[in-house]
Each structure stands twice: as structure tokens, then as C-alpha cells.
Structure 1
Amino acid sequence: MDKTTTLLLFFSMFTFLTTSFSKNLCNQDDKTTLLKIKKALNNPYHLASWDPQTDCCSWYCLECGDATVNHRVTALTIFSGQISGQIPPEVGDLSYLQTLVFRKLTNLTGQIPRTITKLKYLRSLRLSWTNLTGPVPGFLSELKNLQFIDLSFNDLSGSVPSSLSLLPNLLSLDLSRNKLTGSIPESFGSFPAKVPDLYLSHNQLSGYIPKTLGNLDFNRIDFSRNKLGGDASMLFGANKTTWYIDLSRNMLQFDLSRVVIPKTLGILDLNHNGITGNIPVQWTEAPLQFFNVSYNRLCGHIPTGGTLQEFDSYSYFHNKCLCGAPLDSCK
């Protein structure tokens, strides 16, 4: 046998073995679990590629890791399909899952299953734009690797679990557009590491914002469209690096005159509250890109400088006696 024939034979065997191996990357336990999930969701057309005769690592809506995790399923992302039912408890058996997404599935109902606490590697949980009901589960605090929680646009009710503040790696918590009641937990003033972005808007939260939140350097806070009252001035401060604050459409009452905002602040919305005082001159130093203090009880001259005159009258109108450009000149 000459060298050319030998090389061709070797190449053919290598190609055969590589192809055969690549067709069977998926872990058999993961494959069995995925087929159970498909069945629990009534075998939707959206998951038609989930064919038991093929390698599950090639299936739509999921990803497998590399050889370092033995090609286990690491991401399950089901979204925008005609899918009905509940989140199958079997998702908890995908033990190497790092990302779990059920999104824009309006016929997905029921509660968040406790079995997801078995997903010890889970970093991102996104269950949004569905019709999930029940509480925001306190057991999410058991998932110590969680970095992103998005439960927005659902029908979740009850209170915000204080135990979520125990998550050591949390970077973002989005519970907006639900039916949550009660107050913002005091424990949210003591996150163990980096302070996460907090989105709690469009709920029915009431009471005062915990003063302990004033000790934290948030990047983004959105508490808009709730029933929060009292003082929110502690959220501001010259030494903070906050970029985004939206407290609009609440019942907040405090004196704006002594509020010093961070020089990093780009988005500030305080409209539809009961805030008094005037707009400090110091606010001209911030790189504001969006600004709204309309529908409050502010008075005095709008400071000149910075970006404050770049916003139209809509950002200022319906106050007690605020004046100056872009409103009418002061008398």
C-alpha cells in the first residue's frame, strides 16, 4: 500500500469517526429530559427540531457546552412560540444549565417550579412576557450563581422576597409590570457584593423607600408607577455613580432644594409626585439626557446652564410656581 492510499484511508477513517462523534455530542440524560419537557408542553411545532433520532446539541432553542462540561446542555431559551401549559418541572433536571429563558409565551401559565433550585450553575433566569402567576419565589435565593433575574411582564403577586438580597452575584433584578404589593424590603439596603440594577416599576408597592438604600451606590433604579410615599432624597448624593433614576408616578414628598445629584446622572424622571422646593443650580453639572419633574409642587427659577434648557416645557409644566426657560420667564 503506497503512501497516498494510506493517507486517503487514514483521512476517511478520521472523517468517519469525527462525524460519528459529532452526531452524538448530547448527553443521554439531557436528551431524555428535553424530550420530557417537549411532551409536557404538548409537543409544540416550535420544538419540531427536537427529534429523538438526532443529536440534541443541534436542536433549536438550546445550547450545549464544550468538552470541559462534556457537552451538557447549558442554555434553554424558548421564546415567541405558540406554546401553552406550564413550565415543566423537568427543567430542574438539566443540571448543567446556566441560562433558562421562557419569554413572550402568552399561553404559559402556572407558578415558577421549585425544581429550578436544582440548577446550581444557573446564572441567568428570564421568565418574562408570559402569564405566570403566584409569588416571586423566595427559593430563588438558593441559586447562588444567579446574576440576572427577569420576571417582568407577568401576573405575579404578593410581596418582594427579602431573601433575594442574599444572592452574592446578582447584577440585575427585574420584577417590573406585575401585581406585587407590600413594601420594598429593608434588606435591599445590604446586598453582599456589587449593587444590582433594580427594576420594580408598574406594580402596587407601597410604604416608604428604605433609608438603607441611601447607603448604596446604584447604577440604575426604576421604582416608577407604584404607590410609594415619603422621602427619596437619600437615593441621591454627590459621591455616587448612578446613571438612571426613575421614581415617577408615585406619592413621594420631599424637598428638592437640598438634593445633590451625582455628576454621572443621565436619566432622571420624578414626574407625578408631591415634591416641593426648587431645582438646585448644582444640577446643571450633570450630563442629563432625559429629565422630567412635571406634575409636582416645585417653585423658583429653573437654573441656567448644562442641559436643563435643552428639555421642552413638558419636562417642567404643572408645578406650583416654577419659571424660567423653557417655561415663561419669572416675574
Structure 2
Amino acid sequence: MLKSLPISFILFISVILFLLFPSQVFSAHPKCHSQDKKVLLEIKAALNNPYHLASWNPDDDDCCTWYCLDCDLVTGRVIALTIFSGNISGQIPPAVGDLPYLQNLEFRKLTNLTGQIPSAITKLVNLRELTLSYTNLSGPIPSFLSQLKNLTYLDLSFNDLTGSIPPSLSELPNLDAIHLDRNQLTGSIPDSFGYWTGKTPEIFLSHNNLTGAVPASFGRFQSMIDLSRNKLEGDPSFLFGKNRTSWYVDLSRNLFEFDVSKIEFSDNLTHLDLNHNRIFGSLPKGLTQLNLEFYNVSYNRLCGQIPQGGELQSFDLYSYFHNRCLCGAPLPPCN
């Protein structure tokens, strides 16, 4: 019988049914799993029942409608818990480890969140993204994070984490980016960070108290790297080379010392920040071949004329000033 009806009429009836009986149309959509609901309410209680989680109502059968989380559309299991920018105090509840299907865990911009990173997180074997940033988490970066083999993104930035960087983090085989910046980390950069089990991730270690030299293993580094605002020293010029694929290198505000005139820069490089170091020599003409979007070599010990051409004159004098005897546009002419 339906075959004899016009398609436009069938579509019209379908729309009417959708508007009149939406719950019946989507009756196959599963509700939140009862065990996940129980765990979420435990998390809420551990965080002192904040107003930010007011939608987490024990009388609501479907926690998939609650704020700060997402469920799998097929199974109804919670796959994302993203709590940010709320007036929440306390510590990360160990109960977060009891959400077995969680793929994304985020506690961000919660300045009253304190304590250490709980080991219960290691139970989240499906976790792909872990963001614990802009909080007051303290203590060391736990080496047990290396057990989360499915992680593609790890962000522990803007906290009060102390101690050294666990070498075992390089055992994360699927990591695309690791943010350990803006903490109070000390010690040296692990040599293992030059030998990742999988591909080399983007590495952000800035605004810490790291010391020593950049490991020689970084000579094979081919990714985005930010080591700025530490107390690193030595000659990291092996990070550069004509065949490098890194487009972003920030070594600023350290104690690095090398002759920049001997460096060949990759055509891929678009962000180069070397300011506030002890770099000497003259700027190589090869810099004029780069499509630079950001560039700063100020506060070093450079000499000679700034090469003419490319993007080098598009940056103002503040990208060059406070060098020993650097001259030429945009600085005053050479004598």
C-alpha cells in the first residue's frame, strides 16, 4: 500500500509523527547506564555538590542529558566528562576511574581544585584525552600515566606540579601532543623524550625550572617544540637542519649558547623564537628564504648586518634589539 502513496506524502507523515511523538520516534536511543549514573552522583558528592553540577539530579533517570558529559549514542555509556570554569573545590574524586568507557576526561579552569593526580585514572583504559589544566593540582607528575596507552592528548599545564618529568611518558605510543608547561618542574629533560615509542608528539615544556642541556636524542626531533622560560643551557643547534619538518621552535629565555651563523634552517619553519639567550654570530642569509610568521632574536650577542629580503624586514626592531652589534633594517644602518 505504501508503494502506491506519493513520496512527498510519506515524508509529510514522517515529519508529523516526529513533531507529535518525538520520544517514540527515538525510543531506541538508550538512556544513561545505571552504574554510570551512580558513579557520577558519587563524583558530585565528592566535589561538595557544586551548583555547577546542578543538572546532575538523582531523580532524573537519564544522566546523558546532564551538563558536562557526553554519552555514546548506541550504548548510553558515559564517554566524556568535561568539567571546566566552575566554582568547584576539592580534589579529583577517585570515582572518575569507575567510568570504564570514558574517552575524554577534563578538569580545566578550576582554581580551587587541589591535591594530586589520583592513580584511579589508570583504570580508564579507553581514555584518549586527559586535560587537567588551570587548577591548583600539586605534587609530581605520576609515572603511572604511561599506562594510558590510548592517550592521544595529555595536558597538565597551568598547575603547581613539581619534581622531575617521568621518562616513562615517552612510552605513550599514540600521543599527538603533551603539555607540561607552566608548572614548577625541575631537573633535566628526559633523554627518552627523543625516543618515543610511537611518533614524536608536539612537546610543550615552557615556564618551568628545567636545567641542563637539551638531550642529544633530540637530534632526531621532527615536531613542534617549546622549551622557553626555563634554565636550560648548552648548544641545542642540532634541533635545526635543512631537512627538518618542525615548523615551530621556541627556545627563548634560557641560557643557550651557539653560533647561529652555522645553522641551516628548514623551509618548514614558520615560528622561530630565540630571544633572551647567549646566541652569537651573524644571522644567516638562509633566513630570507623562510615564510616566517613569528620571529624574535632579541637579547642575544649577535653581530653583523641583518640579511635583506624575505620576511626579515617585516618584523619590528623589538625582534632584533639588545644585541651586541647587530645592524641594518629595521635597526639603524651599519656603519
> Is the TM-score greater than 0.5?
yes
1:141 CA displacement: 0.4
Number of the residue aligned with 1:58:
65
1:194 CA displacement: 1.9
Number of the residue aligned with 1:197:
202
Distance 1:283 1:15, change over 3 A: closer
1:192 CA displacement: 2.1
Classify the secondary structure of the residue corresponding to 1:237: coil
Number of the residue aligned with 1:145:
150
State the alpha-carbon separation in 2 of the partners of residues 158 and 192 from structure 1. Answer: 23
State the alpha-carbon separation in 2 of the partners of residues 89 and 62 from structure 1. Answer: 17
Aligned pairs for 1:288-303 within 5 A:
288-303=292-307
Cα deviation code 1:189-221 (max 9, x no counterpart): 111222111000000000000011111211x11
Aligned counterpart in structure 1 of residue 281 of structure 2, from 267, 270, 277: 277
One-letter identity of the residue aligned with 1:77 = T
Q: Which runs of 4+ in 1 moved over 3 A?
A: 14-22
One-letter identity of the residue aligned with 1:271 = N
1:52 CA displacement: 1.4
Aligned length: 319
One-letter identity of the residue aligned with 2:109 = K
Distance 1:16 1:149, change over 3 A: closer
Number of the residue aligned with 1:44:
50
Aligned counterpart in structure 2 of residue 266 of structure 1, from 264, 267, 270: 270
> TM-score scaled by structure 2?
0.92
Number of the residue aligned with 1:109:
114
Aligned counterpart in structure 2 of residue 158 of structure 1, from 132, 146, 163: 163
One-letter identity of the residue aligned with 1:208 = A
Number of the residue aligned with 1:209:
214
1:19 CA displacement: 6.3
State the alpha-carbon separation in 2 of the partners of residues 66 and 163 from structure 1. Answer: 35
1:301 CA displacement: 1.1
State the alpha-carbon separation in 1 of the partners of residues 26 and 277 from structure 2. Answer: 65
State the alpha-carbon separation in 2 of the partners of residues 276 and 17 from structure 1. Answer: 73
Cα deviation code 1:166-205 (max 9, x no counterpart): 1000000001100000000000111122211100000000
Aligned counterpart in structure 2 of residue 27 of structure 1, from 23, 33, 40: 33
State the alpha-carbon separation in 1 of the partners of residues 258 and 288 from structure 2. Answer: 20
Classify the secondary structure of the residue corresponding to 2:187: coil
State the alpha-carbon separation in 1 of the partners of residues 28 and 310 from structure 2. Answer: 63
| Mapped pair 1:88 → 2:93 | yes
Number of the residue aligned with 1:242:
246
Distance 1:318 1:56, change over 3 A: same
Classify the secondary structure of the residue corresponding to 2:303: strand
Aligned counterpart in structure 2 of residue 78 of structure 1, from 75, 83, 88: 83
State the alpha-carbon separation in 1 of the partners of residues 34 and 227 from structure 2. Answer: 45
Classify the secondary structure of the residue corresponding to 1:198: strand
One-letter identity of the residue aligned with 1:38 = K
Deviates more, 1:88-97 or 1:208-217: 208-217
1:16 CA displacement: 6.4
Deviates more, 1:164-173 or 1:191-200: 191-200
1:18 CA displacement: 5.4
State the alpha-carbon separation in 2 of the partners of residues 313 and 327 from structure 1. Answer: 6
1:71 CA displacement: 1.5
Number of the residue aligned with 2:192:
187
State the alpha-carbon separation in 1 of the partners of residues 221 and 86 from structure 2. Answer: 40
One-letter identity of the residue aligned with 2:209 = Q
Classify the secondary structure of the residue corresponding to 1:116: helix
Structure 2 spans left out of the alignment, 5+ residues: 1-12
State the alpha-carbon separation in 1 of the partners of residues 31 and 263 from structure 2. Answer: 59
Cα deviation code 1:215-272 (max 9, x no counterpart): 1211x11100000000110111111111111111000011111111110111111000
Percent identical among aligned pairs is 62
| Mapped pair 1:123 → 2:128 | yes
Classify the secondary structure of the residue corresponding to 1:163: helix
